[in-house]
Amino acid sequence: MYAAAFDYVRASSWSEAVAQLAELGEDAHVIAGGQSLVPMMMLHFAAPSALIDIGGVDERTIELRDDGTLVLSALVRHADLEHSDVVAERVPMLTQAVRQIGNVRVRHRGTIGGSLAHGEPAAELPCVLIAHGASVHTLGPEGARTIAVNDLPVMQLMTALHEGELITRVEIPTLTDGQGSCFIEMARRPGDFAMVNAAALVTCDDSGTCTAVRLVLGAVGNRPVDVSPEAQELVGHTIDDANSEAVAGAIAAGAEVIPSSHAGIEYRREMAGVQLARALRGASEDARRRRSGEAVTV
C-alpha cells in the first residue's frame, strides 16, 4: 500500500508547528502518533500535501497538580496512561478505557491529543474525559484558548478546532472523596471499534445514597453525548438494578443511533441501555469500595 506523496517537516515547538501549518496551507496536516491518520492515508481517505511531525515538540508529561487536576501533555501516549499509577489511582476510567484502544502497537504510538483531534465517535477517551469535566488547551493562529472536551466533538471526524489549531494539553479534574467510576466498552472483538461506550462517575454519601451523577454515552451516535441531565433522578437514591435500568433504558430509547456495520440500530439501542445501566451500577459499587477502604482493582 502506498500513500500519495507528501512533504515532511519536523516541528521543534508547538508555536513552530502552528506557524508551519499556516505556511504550508490548508492541505497540510500535523502528525503525532499517526495511528488514525496513517491508515487513512494508506487507504487514500486522506492525502495531505505535507505532514508536520509534532512528535518531538513536548515531553510526554503526566502531572498531578496540588488542586487535584491531572495535567497531560497532548503527546501522552495511550501506553503511558495504561502504565501510569497516578492515572489508575486518580482517573481509573482512563486506565480502563485505554486498555481497550486498538492493540499494544497502536497504544504505543497513539496520543491523547491526536485521538481527541481526530473526532472518531467510537473513541473511548472523550467519554471518560467528558464524564470527568475535562478540558483541552489549544494553540492556533489566534493564540491559546481552553475548550471543554464536551464542546470538542461535532460529528464524525469533525471537531470544534479551528483551522490550524492544535491541542497542546489536557486537564482532568480527578476523583474526589465519595466518588466512584466505571467505563464499559462493548465491541465485537478486542481492539475493534466500539458498538457502545458508557462512562459513569457517581458521588455517594456515607450511606451509599447517590448525591451526584455524570453519565456519558458514546459510539452509538455522531459524537459522544453527555446524558447526565437525564440521569439526575438517581440523585437521592441508592443506585440499584431497577433504577439504573429505568434511567438507562429511557436514555437509550431517546438516543441518536447511527447505522453501523457492526450491529443494527435496534440492537445497539438496546445494548446502550444495558451498558449504561452496568456503568451506573459499576460506578456505585466502585464508590462503595473506596468509601469502605476495600481494595480497588482498576
Partner 1 sequence: MTATRGHLISISINGRPTEFAVEPNLSLLELLRTDGGSPEVKLGCGEGVCGTCTVLLDGEPVNACLVWAVQADGCEITTVRGLAAEGELHDLQNAFLDHAGSQCGFCTPGMLLTVKWYLDRHPAADREELRHAIAGNLCRCTGYTKILDAIEAYRDLRLKDGDGH
Residues that bind partner 1 (CB under 8 A): 1-9, 20, 23-24, 31, 34-35, 38-39, 41-43, 50-51, 53, 55, 79, 99, 102-106, 108-109, 189-191
Q: How far is CA 113 from CA 60, 126, 132, 150, 202, in A?
A: 11, 11, 16, 14, 26
Nearer to partner 1, 5 or 295 (CB): 5
What is the nearest approach in angstroms of partner 1 to the Cβ of residue 65? 28
| Beta-strand runs (E) in 149-240 | 153-155, 158-159, 166-173, 179-187, 194-204, 210-218, 225-226
Q: Which residue has the cell 451509599?
A: 208
Nearer to partner 1, 4 or 155 (CB): 4
Question: What cell does 18 get?
Answer: 502552528
What is the nearest approach in angstroms of partner 1 to the Cβ of residue 31? 8
Nearer to partner 1, 71 or 157 (CB): 157
What is the nearest approach in angstroms of partner 1 to the Cβ of residue 13? 12
Q: Which of 186, 193, 200, 266 is nearest to 228 (CA)?
A: 200
Nearer to partner 1, 134 or 139 (CB): 139
How is the chain split among helix, strand and coil, in percent rounded to 5? Answer: 35, 25, 40
Nearer to partner 1, 8 or 177 (CB): 8
What is the nearest approach in angstroms of partner 1 to the Cβ of residue 42? 5
C-alpha 219/C-alpha 126 separation (Å) is: 10
Q: Which of 236, 37, 36, 182 is nearest to 8 (CA)?
A: 37
What is the nearest approach in angstroms of partner 1 to the Cβ of residue 226? 30
